[in-house]
Amino acid sequence: MATLLAPARRPRIFHALEHRDFRLLWSGQTVSLIGNTAFITALGWRTFTLAGSAKLGFVLVAESASTLATLLIGGVLADRYSRRALMIVSDLARFGAVGGLALTDATGHLTFPLILLFTTLVGLGDGFFYPAYGGIVPLVVEPPSLGSANALLGVSRWGSFLVGPVLAAFLYESTSPALVFGLDSGSFLVSAFLLYLARPRLIEAATQAGTFQEIRAAMRYVAGVPWLWVTITMFSLVLMLQLAPQQVLLPKLVKEHFGRGIGSYGVLTALLGLGMVIGTVLFGQLNPRRHRGTLSYVIWCANSLSIIGLVLSPRYELALGFAVLRGALIGFGTTLWDTMLMELVPDHLLSRVVSLDIFGSFGLMPIGLLVAAAVSGLAPPGPIIAVGASVSALLFAVMLTRPWLRRVE
Angle at 180 between CA 174 and CA 182, to 5 degrees: 130
- 90: nearest Cα among 347, 339, 351: 351
**Candidate ranges 175-179, 191-195, 289-293; pick with highest mean pLDDT:** 191-195
- Please report whether residue 50 resides in a domain: yes
> Tell me: the pLDDT tens digits for 74-118?
888 888 888 899 999 999 999 999 999 999 988 888 888 888 899
Look up the CATH number of the domain holding residue 38.
1.20.1250.20
Q: Is the pLDDT of residue 204 over 70?
A: no
Structural domain contains residue 61: yes
The model's pLDDT over 339-398, given as tens digits with 9 standing for 90+, comes to 888 888 887 888 888 888 888 888 787 788 778 878 877 788 888 888 889 999 999 998
> Considering the chain, what percentage of its residues have pLDDT values greater than 70?
94
Distance CA 41, CA 250 (A): 11
Is 181 inside a domain boundary? yes
Domain assignment present for residue 4? The answer is no
Query: Per the domain annotation, does 6 fall within a domain?
Result: no
Instruction: Look at the chain and report how many structural domains it folds into.
Output: 1
Residue among 199, 249, 269 nearest 385 (CA): 249
CA triple 276-132-157, angle to 5 deg = 15
Angle at 316 between CA 275 and CA 272, to 5 degrees: 15
Spatial contact of 298 and 400, defined as CB atoms under 8 Å apart: yes
Q: Considering the domain boundaries, does residue 111 fall inside one? A: yes
Range of the domain at 187: 12-406
Q: Is residue 357 part of a domain?
A: yes
| pTM reported for the whole predicted model | 0.73
7, part of any domain? no
